[in-house]
Amino acid sequence: MLLGTQRVNEEGHLEIGGCDAVALAREFGTPLYVMDEALIRANCRAYKRAFAERYPNNEVSYAGKAFLCTAMCALLEEEGMCLDVASAGELHTALRAGFPPERLFLHGNNKSRLELEMAISAGVHRIIVDNEYELEMLIALAERAGRPVDVLFRITPGIDPHTHERIRTGQVDTKFGLEVQNGQAARVIERAVAHPFLRVRGTHFHVGSQLLDLEAHRQAIEIGVDLLAQFRDDIGYIAEEMNIGGGLGIRYLSHHEPPSISEYADMVIGTLKACLQAHNLPAPKLQQEPGRSIVGEAGTTLYTVGAVKEIPGVRTYVTVDGGLSDNPRPALYDARYEVLLANKANRPAERLVTVAGKHCETDTLFPDVTVPDPAPGDLLAVQSTGAYNYAMASNYNRFPHPAVVLVHDGQAEVIVERQTLDDLVSKDVLPRRFARPR
Ligand code: LLP
């Protein structure tokens, strides 16, 4: 499986964005996250085009939680995308990058006062209210600021998408949002609609992530439109906007076949139009927040192979110079990935091995993968690491965060520098009583 601009070059090396992976590793070190700019841009454009053709009254936000840094914000701005941020840190990143606040959406199921204040003073486009506690705080802040805020309400449609349990969010048993089925959503929204310091623009839901079929989204859109009809009928409120979150899956393994962006758009718009017509509702603005399907396949992690341990008759371990700290997804979600040896990319992958990291625990990264005969010094490339890898990296064992490099037309530019060992101690504080000459 080769993704985006990946290809095997004349030297038999993996190439991404016109850059030889072996040369990238030599120049920037490993572990290294490599991001394929052309693929990120192509995905942004595919979303924008697919929805503009079918339903012009729409906005596409990128979900920053998947991967965010200031260069990513600049790229998104160039592509005319909106951006969804879910913390003070993500919001600060966007504002520091000069991203237009009128294209920002603020999320979070337990937003702090600081986060709400930052959002109000920056003038973000929409705040997606999760619960009544947040609503009270927001009203108080809006009154103090003396101007109304534009909000959407997060609802839980009560459906169960088929994906890993830790990335399901649309079901009844979830910490997120206002419940539809027990009437909570209608009650809270009814009250908010009447409030002078709130402009209730509509509803939001997000049912889950890495969805490889369209069923959950289809059901959620039906429930979401039913709810809009209920608001109109019960309280005379007509929502102007409906936000359907993100969730479209990507190819981690070659047999994964996620719907294409245009198949997804066909289903979303087909379902939406049919439901609106059935209820005789005016068409709201459609908003969405894909994350993984914009950046996931655009990321490749490069590691240097170290020790190769063969346990005859049992297993061969290939160890690499990263692990749990740069990719916690195998441990958290049993995530599987495709790997290849970037310096031996044209040789047949005949050896069954298990790739392990270098943390002080059993951090199996990629069990039972096949590679050409592995040796210390080889360069292991892991595909589809663009989403939720750098974003979820930790400093476990005091490993520095790897650098992120953006590749494009044979050029490679660092967009996040590798942390240094001194960065790791830069926030440590030594109480005076421990001080002695060192
Ligand atoms: N909107 C909201 C409100 C979300 O909570 C999410 C993801 C998205 C949009 C973007 O979803 P996407 O298009 O990326 O599926 N760390 C997990 C994924 C957690 C997703 C959380 N919310 C993982 O590594 O699989």
Q: What is the CATH number of the domain that holds 351?
A: 2.40.37.10
Does one domain contain both 273 and 341? no
Closest listed residue to residue 156, CA positions, set 168, 143, 139, 166 = 168
Residue 344 belongs to domain spanning? 7-36+296-425
Residue 167 belongs to some domain of the structure:
yes
Does one domain contain both 136 and 266? yes
Does one domain contain both 340 and 239? no
Does one domain contain both 285 and 300? no
Does one domain contain both 304 and 252? no
Compute, in angstroms, the gap from residue 205 CA to the centroid of ligand 1.
Answer: 12
Residue 206 belongs to some domain of the structure:
yes
Does one domain contain both 408 and 274? no
Amino acid residing at 106: L
Residue 52 belongs to some domain of the structure:
no
Does one domain contain both 207 and 163? yes
Q: Which of 290, 305, 337 is the last residue of a domain?
A: 290
Closest listed residue to residue 402, CA positions, set 321, 329, 319, 296 = 321
Residue 140 belongs to some domain of the structure:
yes
Q: Give the length of the chain.
A: 438
- Residue 308, classified by CB atoms within 10 Å of its CB into exposed (0-12), middle (13-18) or buried (19+), is middle
The dihedrals phi and psi of 308, each to the nearest 5 degrees, come to -115, 115
Query: Which of 67, 243, 289, 293 maximizes ligand 1 atoms within 8 Å of its Cβ, making it the mutation to test the pocket?
Result: 289
Q: How far is CA 264 from CA 247, 289, 295, in A?
A: 11, 13, 17
Does one domain contain both 252 and 315? no
Nearest CA to ligand 1 atom 1: 245
For residue 397, pLDDT beyond 90: yes
What radius of gyration, in Å, describes the C-alpha atoms of the chain? 23
Segment 59-69 mean pLDDT: 98
CB neighbour list of residue 17: distance below 8 Å, 6 or more residues apart? 4, 5, 34, 36, 37, 38, 406, 407, 408, 409, 410, 411, 412
Does one domain contain both 246 and 215? yes
Residue 177 belongs to some domain of the structure:
yes
Residue 15: its H or E element: strand 14-16
Confidence of residue 124 (pLDDT cuts 50, 70, 90): very high
Does one domain contain both 195 and 276? yes
Q: Which of 231, 257, 290 is the last residue of a domain?
A: 290
pLDDT at 166: 64
Does one domain contain both 403 and 378? yes
pTM: 0.96
CB neighbour list of residue 50: distance below 8 Å, 6 or more residues apart? 261, 262, 264, 265
pLDDT at 171: 64
Residues framing ligand 1 (Cβ under 6 A): 63, 65-66, 84, 107, 167, 206, 209-210, 245-248, 289-293, 329, 333, 387-388
Q: Which of 290, 323, 349 is the last residue of a domain?
A: 290
Predicted confidence (pLDDT) per residue in 344-375, tens digit: 999 999 999 999 999 999 889 999 999 999 99
Predicted confidence (pLDDT) per residue in 210-239, tens digit: 999 999 999 999 989 998 998 899 888 899
Domain count, the chain: 2
Query: Which of 65, 213, 294 maximizes ligand 1 atoms within 8 Å of its Cβ, making it the mutation to test the pocket?
Result: 65
Question: Is the distance from CB of 373 to CB of 345 less than 8 angstroms?
Answer: no
CB neighbour list of residue 350: distance below 8 Å, 6 or more residues apart? 370, 372, 373
Compute, in angstroms, the gap from residue 411 CA to the centroid of ligand 1.
Answer: 30
Compute, in angstroms, the gap from residue 281 CA to the centroid of ligand 1.
Answer: 29
- Residue 198, classified by CB atoms within 10 Å of its CB into exposed (0-12), middle (13-18) or buried (19+), is buried
Residue 414 belongs to some domain of the structure:
yes
Cα separation of 355 and 378, whole Å?
Answer: 13
Does one domain contain both 311 and 201? no
Closest listed residue to residue 264, CA positions, set 55, 39, 2 = 55
Compute, in angstroms, the gap from residue 366 CA to the centroid of ligand 1.
Answer: 22
Which atom of ligand 1 lies nearest, measured to the CA of 209? 15
Confidence of residue 162 (pLDDT cuts 50, 70, 90): low
CATH number at residue 140: 3.20.20.10
Predicted confidence (pLDDT) per residue in 89-122, tens digit: 999 999 999 999 999 999 999 999 999 999 999 9
Segment 415-421 mean pLDDT: 98
CB neighbour list of residue 53: distance below 8 Å, 6 or more residues apart? 265
How confident is the prediction for the chain on average, in pLDDT?
Answer: 95
The tokens for 385 are: 């690491």
pLDDT at 342: 98
* Active site (annotated) includes residue 360: yes
For residue 333, pLDDT beyond 80: yes
Cα separation of 225 and 116, whole Å?
Answer: 28
The tokens for 133 are: 């506690």
Residue 1 belongs to some domain of the structure:
no
Residue 433 belongs to some domain of the structure:
no
Predicted confidence (pLDDT) per residue in 271-302, tens digit: 999 999 999 999 999 999 999 999 999 999 99
